């Protein structure tokens, strides 16, 4: 199982909601209105994407939420079942690395994913694109990290920390070597090669004093990942973390984490 906690997903949800591109969700809502079938959210976690997107739909739809973590699926079902924009809600516990067959099982209006594509490999992405093409389904993939991390004020050791973290993001997250920061660009290439039209938009996290807890978790996570990649630099990384935590406590730290959203549409359906 992939090991994302409900606490981490809850912590990031306000930043995710602020960041998701309204141009992309608006286009996806219009496109979905013109299509029959259900909406499938891949790697739904505790349901952040349906909570954000379902109320933007012009009419309620059938939803299928998919994840490999039963506790997250249960929470997602509990919190999303009665949303505007949800006619019926079903959950499916499965390992996405092994199974995408459900996409073609019934008519699919839209496949969605939020903070998922950067975890997957290029080979798995090819399978997802093929499944969407076979089902003639659009894909809305939100919040794909693109490798940009800007910390204000900057420090000289930002570069090694961020470089090592970027290398860690390309490790295996259960789908083979992860695309990490190249995920959105690769998805755009693959969908265009399959004859889809693709719209993209930036969806950066812009984090300041009000996001101190989230920033603290990011700093810890970056250093844990960087230290796994370059253990010989652990003392230098620990010093960086101490300094960054002092700046955070003093309310002097802001962070931008680059993301990209995309909507891939079968050509004749572009809106």
Ligand X SMILES: C[S@@+](CC[C@H](N)C(=O)[O-])C[C@H]1O[C@@H](n2cnc3c(N)ncnc32)[C@H](O)[C@@H]1O
- Burial class from Cβ neighbours inside 10 Å (0-12, 13-18, 19+) for residue 178 reads buried
Q: H or E element: which one contains 266? A: strand 254-266
Q: Count residues contacting ligand X (CB under 6 A)?
A: 21
Is 72 a binder of ligand X (CB under 6 A)?
yes
Is 116 a binder of ligand X (CB under 6 A)?
yes
Residue with tokens 């090694």: 160
Is 174 a binder of ligand X (CB under 6 A)?
yes
Q: Which stretch binds ligand X (CB under 6 A): 91-99, 178-186, 195-203, 213-221?
A: 91-99
Nearest partner of 71 among 143, 141, 2, judged by Cα:
2
In this structure, what token pair is assigned to residue 101?
């067959």
Q: How far is the CB of 228 from ligand X (least distance, A)?
A: 18
Nearer to ligand X, 2 or 163 (CB): 2
Binding letters toward ligand X, positions 23-62, x by CB under 6 A: --------------------xxx--xx-------------
Among 17, 33, 95, 177, binds ligand X (CB under 6 A): 95
Q: What one-character DSSP code corresponds to residue 181?
A: G
- Residues 198 and 72: their CA atoms lie apart, in Å, by 30
Q: How far is the CB of 41 from ligand X (least distance, A)?
A: 7
Rounded to 10 degrees, the C-alpha dihedral 24/25/26/31 comes to: 90
Is 115 a binder of ligand X (CB under 6 A)?
yes
In this structure, what token pair is assigned to residue 194?
């399959």
- Residues 270 and 250: their CA atoms lie apart, in Å, by 48
Is 205 a binder of ligand X (CB under 6 A)?
no
Q: How far is the CB of 239 from ligand X (least distance, A)?
A: 29
Is 176 a binder of ligand X (CB under 6 A)?
no
Alpha helices in the chain, H assignment, sequence order: 6-19, 22-33, 48-53, 70-80, 122-135, 158-169, 183-193, 212-229, 234-249
Nearer to ligand X, 119 or 223 (CB): 119
Is 180 a binder of ligand X (CB under 6 A)?
no
Nearer to ligand X, 214 or 253 (CB): 214
Is 181 a binder of ligand X (CB under 6 A)?
no
Q: How far is the CB of 216 from ligand X (least distance, A)?
A: 18
Is 117 a binder of ligand X (CB under 6 A)?
no
Residue 17 in contact with residue 46, Cβ under 8 Å?
no
Q: Which residues bind ligand X (CB under 6 A)?
A: 2, 4, 9, 16, 43-45, 48-49, 67-69, 72, 95-97, 114-116, 119, 174
């Amino acid at each position: 199982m992939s090991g994302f906690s409900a606490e981490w997903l809850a912590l990031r949800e306000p930043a995710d909601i602020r960041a998701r591109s309204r141009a992309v969700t608006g286009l996806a809502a219009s496109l979905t209105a013109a299509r029959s079938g259900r909406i499938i959210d891949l790697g739904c976690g505790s349901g952040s994407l349906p909570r954000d997107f379902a109320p933007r739909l012009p009419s309620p739809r059938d939803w299928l939420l998919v994840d490999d973590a039963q506790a997250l699926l249960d929470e997602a079902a509990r919190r999303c079942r009665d949303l505007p924009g949800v006619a019926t809600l079903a959950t499916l516990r499965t390992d996405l690395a092994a199974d995408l067959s459900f996409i073609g099982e019934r008519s699919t209006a839209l496949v969605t994913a939020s903070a998922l594509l950067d975890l997957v490999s290029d080979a798995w992405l090819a399978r997802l694109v093929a499944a969407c093409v076979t089902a003639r389904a659009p894909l809305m993939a939100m919040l794909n990290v693109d490798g940009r991390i800007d910390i204000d004020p900057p420090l000289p050791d930002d570069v090694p920390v961020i470089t090592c973290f970027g290398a860690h993001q390309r490790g295996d997250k259960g789908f083979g070597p992860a695309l990490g920061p190249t995920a959105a660009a690769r998805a755009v290439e693959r969908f265009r090669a399959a004859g889809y039209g693709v719209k993209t938009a930036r969806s950066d996290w812009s984090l300041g004093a009000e996001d101190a807890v989230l920033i603290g978790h990011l700093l810890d996570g970056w250093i844990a990942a960087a230290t796994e990649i370059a253990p010989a630099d652990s003392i230098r990384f620990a010093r960086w973390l101490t300094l960054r935590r002092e700046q955070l406590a003093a309310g002097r730290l802001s962070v931008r984490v680059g993301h990209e959203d995309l909507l891939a549409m079968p050509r004749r359906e572009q809106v």
